[in-house]
């Protein structure tokens, strides 16, 4: 599917590429061989855009904020292109040690984190703003009202949730509906052949409530890319090897099944779960 086969995201009019460019590895700030250099990150971004892609995903915590800064610097160097892309970023992670309000889903934290992301991205607005993780210590009404205020102010266009239980997402969406607040249009969740538990409640809930599902780690940090087998699984640990750990027997069974499908001339990375 070409990147310029744009689709609407959830129950909205926002048109995005069918494949979003994740930028969690933009920047080498975390050390240990993790992440791409600034020049390499810019090359990846430029190539994605050249192929017709228009959907970028980042977060305030990705490489300690450097990912957002790389994206912002890129569009400062390419005037006029920022308006042609959809930039999604997330809030929740605390980048300020010792500040209890430096992260989370409370109003004070949300407003501050939004301003910081806008500064790093060097833009006037965020197209899609996600709650990165559910903040169980903050009333969901407070989070949703703060997000609605950001939408009303023009600093955010659309909102979404990431890695939040189905019952809490449903509660938030219902509250927004009855109070006339900006609705959630997107749900970002881990989803791959090695992580299918979301098919039980999260995926059908998203369909019912008008949220577009955006899978993260669809190749399980490279485990499903085809480079790992029973024979080399321990040896071939890439730069994200720490995310994998040791494969279980069930995971090896899945890898074997993917390899068998790939024998029909399909790239292993294209073998994806199918939801009826």
- Residues with a catalytic annotation lie at 62
In what side-by-side order are the strands of the sheet with 126-131?
Answer: 21-22, 55-57, 86-91, 126-131, 156-162, 184-190, 212-216
CB neighbours of 267 closer than 8 A, spacing ≥ 6?
226
Output the CA torsion 176→181→186→190 (10° steps): -50
What span, in angstroms and rounded, lies between the C-alpha atoms of 20 and 259? 25
| Cα angle 34-27-21, degrees, rounded to a multiple of 5 | 95
Count Cα neighbours of 242 within 13 Å in the Cβ-side half-sphere: 7
């Amino acid at each position: 599917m070409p990147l310029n086969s744009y689709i609407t995201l959830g129950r909205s009019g926002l048109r995005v590429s069918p494949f979003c460019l994740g930028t969690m590895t933009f920047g080498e700030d975390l050390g240990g061989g993790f992440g791409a250099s600034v020049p390499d990150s810019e090359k990846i971004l430029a190539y994605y855009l050249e192929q017709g892609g228009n959907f970028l995903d980042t977060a305030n915590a990705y490489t300690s904020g450097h990912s957002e800064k790389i994206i912002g610097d890129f569009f400062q160097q390419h005037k006029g292109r920022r308006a042609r892309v959809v930039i999604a970023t997330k809030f929740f992670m605390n980048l300020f040690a010792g500040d209890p309000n430096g992260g989370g889903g409370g109003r004070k934290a949300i407003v501050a984190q939004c301003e910081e992301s806008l500064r790093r991205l060097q833009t006037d607005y965020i197209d899609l703003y996600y709650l990165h993780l559910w903040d169980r210590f903050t009333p969901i009404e407070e989070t949703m009202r703060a997000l609605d205020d950001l939408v009303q102010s023009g600093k955010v266009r659309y909102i979404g949730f990431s890695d939040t239980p189905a019952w809490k997402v449903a509660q938030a969406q219902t509250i927004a509906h009855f109070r006339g607040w900006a609705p959630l249009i997107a749900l970002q969740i881990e989803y791959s052949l090695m992580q299918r538990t979301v098919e039980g409640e999260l995926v059908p809930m998203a369909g019912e409530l008008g949220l577009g599902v955006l899978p993260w780690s669809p190749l399980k940090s490279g485990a499903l890319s085809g480079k790992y087998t029973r024979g080399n699984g321990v040896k071939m640990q890439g730069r994200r090897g720490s995310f994998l750990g040791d494969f279980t027997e069930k995971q090896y069974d899945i890898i074997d099944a993917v390899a068998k499908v790939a024998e029909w001339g399909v790239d292993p990375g294209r073998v994806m779960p199918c939801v009826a």
